[in-house]
């Protein structure tokens, strides 16, 4: 039985760090284990220009506790007013590593997102030309489309047409939640990758609703049927380099989650590595863990893998705090509902 594993230091290819007091509270939770992370730009107001991204990067570095090393990989929030030249300059300087597409209204702070995809065509063409990846929140927002179908419909109606019209555009389908997402990625040889969260490997839609409503399991895209979770687990543990970890760790204070209209987001930064290792162990796929968390992401982004390594050991269940404190209020740490035996030592 394997009870110790050493892997390259992992990265998180989709992370919400927020700003101010919340940034201060959550950044160490990620930096403790992860070398780098793709930083989501859905602040209020959003990070839309190279200048915004540079300033946000400085705030992140200023919030990093002494003695910790961490590299934030900055992104820009795509709007219908994004200037292709500003974006190209931010990429050329090495500051910006991806651009984030939120369909307007799809999720938290997405109202500045894209309504008419024709209006971002010049930006997408520029990105294809310079090799800057597009990170996609893949859900349609049409009121008549059932929330559980929004990812599948997005692939057909939005993503595939964009990709057909923009050859060479590199796309990350973020936080895929369905067999449709897994299969769409599997069908492409070159320009498509997908992130998978720790929580979507663990929960299905029943966890949110059976036995009482669980606001801390509510996120977007919402967890789907069990058959979809099993496909995600199969993809993550397959060793296929097109799938990599993007936690979508998304902190909201408890008062914003536990209310009549609660915010979407699971906060997993604190225990991600234990969650993922537990799931890979259950699948007898610990030999694929390093690929999923440490190698496939840099491969897609054309970045070197981290030089340093981490070791995880298996033993008695690990105790994590149920909440972390932030200056804005407590934030509940994702509870998988079963013991976690793997810890980063």
CA 330 to chain centre: 22
- Residue 29 contacts which entry, Zn ion, ligand DOR, none (Cβ below 5-8 A, type-dependent): none
User: Contact letters (x/-) for ligand DOR, 261-280, by CB under 6 A?
Assistant: ---xx---------------
Total of residues contacting Zn ion (CB under 5 A): 1
- Please check whether residue 251 is in contact with residue 16, taking contact to mean a CB–CB distance below 8 angstroms: yes
* Phi, psi at 184, each rounded to 5°: -65, -40
Nearer to ligand DOR, 193 or 221 (CB): 221
At its nearest, how many Å lie between ligand DOR and the CB of residue 252? 6
The verdict on 100 binding ligand DOR (CB under 6 A) reads no
At its nearest, how many Å lie between Zn ion and the CB of residue 253? 17
CA–CA–CA angle 198, 193, 146 (5° rounding)? 65
Distance (Å, rounded) from C-alpha 278 to C-alpha 159?
33
Interface positions, 200-259, toward ligand DOR (CB under 6 A): 219-220, 248, 250
Q: Which residue has the tokens 């019209």?
A: 165
- Residue 219 contacts which entry, ligand DOR, Zn ion, none (Cβ below 5-8 A, type-dependent): ligand DOR
At its nearest, how many Å lie between Zn ion and the CB of residue 73? 14
- Please check whether residue 266 is in contact with residue 220, taking contact to mean a CB–CB distance below 8 angstroms: no
Q: Which residues pair with 36 in a beta bridge?
A: 71
- Residue 197 contacts which entry, Zn ion, ligand DOR, none (Cβ below 5-8 A, type-dependent): none
Query: Out of 81, 248, 254, 255, which one is annotated catalytic?
Result: 248
What is the three-class DSSP state of 279?
Answer: helix
- Residue 9 contacts which entry, ligand DOR, Zn ion, none (Cβ below 5-8 A, type-dependent): none
Distance (Å, rounded) from C-alpha 267 to C-alpha 30?
11
- Residue 264 contacts which entry, Zn ion, ligand DOR, none (Cβ below 5-8 A, type-dependent): ligand DOR
Q: Which residues pair with 193 in a beta bridge?
A: 172
Half-sphere exposure of residue 121: CA atoms within 13 angstroms, side-chain side? 6
Distance (Å, rounded) from C-alpha 290 to C-alpha 298?
12
| Part in contact with Zn ion (CB under 5 A); list of ranges 69-77, 139-147, 210-218, 246-254 | 246-254
Interface positions, 42-71, toward ligand DOR (CB under 6 A): 42
The verdict on 290 binding Zn ion (CB under 5 A) reads no
Helices (H), 64-203: 84-92, 121-130, 150-154, 160-165, 179-186, 199-202
At its nearest, how many Å lie between ligand DOR and the CB of residue 223? 10
Interface positions, 69-98, toward Zn ion (CB under 5 A): none
Distance (Å, rounded) from C-alpha 234 to C-alpha 332?
28
SS (H, E, C) 229-257: HHHHHHHHCCCCCCEEECCCECCCCHHHH
Q: List Cβ neighbours of 22 (8 Å cut-off, separation of 6 or more).
A: 251, 253, 326, 327, 328, 331
The verdict on 137 binding ligand DOR (CB under 6 A) reads yes
- Please check whether residue 162 is in contact with residue 119, taking contact to mean a CB–CB distance below 8 angstroms: no
Distance (Å, rounded) from C-alpha 301 to C-alpha 303?
5
Question: Does residue 118 carry a catalytic annotation?
Answer: no
Interface positions, 319-338, toward ligand DOR (CB under 6 A): none
- Residue 108 contacts which entry, ligand DOR, Zn ion, none (Cβ below 5-8 A, type-dependent): ligand DOR
At its nearest, how many Å lie between ligand DOR and the CB of residue 153? 17
Q: Which one of 139, 248, 281, 290 is in contact with Zn ion (CB under 5 A)?
A: 248
At its nearest, how many Å lie between ligand DOR and the CB of residue 343? 26
Task: Indicate the residue whose CB is closest to Zn ion.
Answer: 248
At its nearest, how many Å lie between Zn ion and the CB of residue 100? 9
Q: Which residues bind Zn ion (CB under 5 A)?
A: 248
Q: Which residues bind ligand DOR (CB under 6 A)?
A: 16, 42, 107-108, 137, 219-220, 248, 250, 264-265
List, by residue number, the catalytic residues: 248
């Amino acid at each position: 039985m394997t009870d110790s594993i050493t892997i390259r230091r992992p990265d998180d290819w989709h992370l919400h760090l927020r700003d101010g007091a919340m940034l201060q509270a959550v950044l160490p939770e990620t930096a403790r284990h992860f070398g780098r992370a793709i930083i989501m730009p859905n602040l209020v107001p959003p990070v839309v220009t190279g200048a915004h991204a540079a300033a946000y990067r400085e705030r992140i570095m200023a919030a990093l506790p002494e003695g910790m090393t961490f590299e934030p990989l900055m992104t820009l929030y795509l709007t219908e007013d994004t200037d292709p030249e500003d974006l190209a300059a931010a990429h050329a300087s090495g500051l910006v590593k991806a651009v984030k597409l939120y369909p307007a209204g799809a999720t938290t702070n997405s109202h500045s997102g894209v309504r008419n995809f024709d209006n971002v065509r010049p930006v997408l063409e520029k990105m294809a030309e310079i090799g800057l990846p597009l990170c996609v929140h893949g859900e349609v927002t049409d009121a008549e489309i059932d929330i559980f179908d929004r990812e599948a419909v997005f692939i057909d109606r939005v993503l595939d047409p964009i990709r057909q019209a923009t050859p060479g555009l590199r796309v990350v389908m973020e936080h895929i939640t369905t067999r449709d997402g897994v299969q769409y990625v599997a069908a492409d040889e070159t320009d498509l990758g997908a992130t998978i969260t720790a929580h979507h490997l663990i929960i299905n839609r029943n966890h949110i609703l059976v036995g009482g409503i669980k606001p801390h399991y509510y996120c977007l895209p919402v967890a789907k049927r069990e058959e979809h979770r099993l496909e995600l687990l199969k993809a993550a543990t397959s060793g296929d380099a097109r799938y990599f970890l993007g936690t979508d760790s998304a902190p909201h204070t408890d008062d914003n989650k536990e209310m009549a209209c609660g915010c979407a987001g699971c906060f997993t930064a604190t225990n991600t590595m234990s969650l993922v290792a537990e799931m890979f162990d259950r699948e007898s796929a610990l030999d694929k863990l390093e690929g999923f968390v440490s190698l496939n992401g840099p491969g897609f982004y054309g970045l070197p893998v981290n030089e340093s390594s981490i070791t995880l050991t298996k033993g008695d269940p690990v105790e994590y705090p149920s909440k972390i404190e932030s200056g804005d209020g407590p934030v509940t740490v994702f509870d998988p509902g079963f013991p976690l035996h793997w810890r980063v030592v």
